[in-house]
Amino acid sequence: MSSPAQTLSFDLALAMSHLSAKDEKLAELILATAKFQKDLDLAQSPYEALMESIAYQSISGKAAATIFGRVKALGDNGRPPTPEKMLKLKTLVLRKAGLSHAKVLAMKDLAAKTISGVVPTRDQAEKLSDNELVERLVSVRGIGAWTVEMFLIFNLGRPDVLPIHDLGVKKGWSVTYGKKRMPKPKELLAFGEQWRPYRTIASWYMWRAFERAGYKVTNKILPAKVRKRVARLKKSVTAKTKPTRRKP
């Protein structure tokens, strides 16, 4: 397994020092958890990485791995079908592999946009900014901002990505900073300004905070609107069930 020093495009020690100096709570989290590490799949093209992301959407990791394995088997030499082959594969074949109809359409659109050049090669992607990649890739059916952010982090190793809609990052933030509710995306974006230019590393530690807390704790962390709704409901139920005192 490759080490972080071999795969990271930035100075990890400098990043840790910067984040610890800027954020006391994050500094405590860094000391209490494992050292940041992230092995990148440098052999995967953007097309292949995004195809895998589509396969993993909205289902368990185990089921997704099985389905993606079947899709890969439709290609050659242990690699997923090329864009050209993906376009030729019949919908029925892909459905039998376990893909939903929506995912079949998404993968075929991904293949078409790879051939047309909208989805870049790895060499091209390395030269594009984060914003340029987001703008290009969200045009692919079934690919949203979150999927592109995961691609930027885990495939390209970009150091300054903050997935403001990611559940684990939001709940990890709530745990780290002692909040009972999740932050709104704009709130998390503003808070994360202090982490620049290493927001990826800070996000990684928010994921670790989420994992350390466990589901028993994190399941209680809800969006602010939901928390208020639950509180009003509890108050209403309490008022209805509270015994009334009779005057003597």
Helix (H) or strand (E) holding 73: none
**E-strand stretches of 101-247:** 181-182, 222-223
Backbone angles phi, psi at 181, to 5 degrees: -135, 160
Burial category of 12 from C-beta neighbours within 10 Å (exposed 0-12, middle 13-18, buried 19 and up): middle
To the query of whether residue 41 is one of the catalytic residues in this protein, the response is no
Q: Could you give the CA distance from residue 39 to residue 17 in angstroms, rounded to a whole number?
A: 21
Contact 69, 80 (CB under 8 A): no
Distance linking the first and last C-alpha atoms of the chain: 79
Catalytic residue among 23, 109, 160, 166: 166
Residue type (1 letter), 225: K
Q: Could you give the CA distance from residue 243 to residue 240 in angstroms, rounded to a whole number?
A: 8
Backbone angles phi, psi at 118, to 5 degrees: -65, -45
Catalytic residues: 166
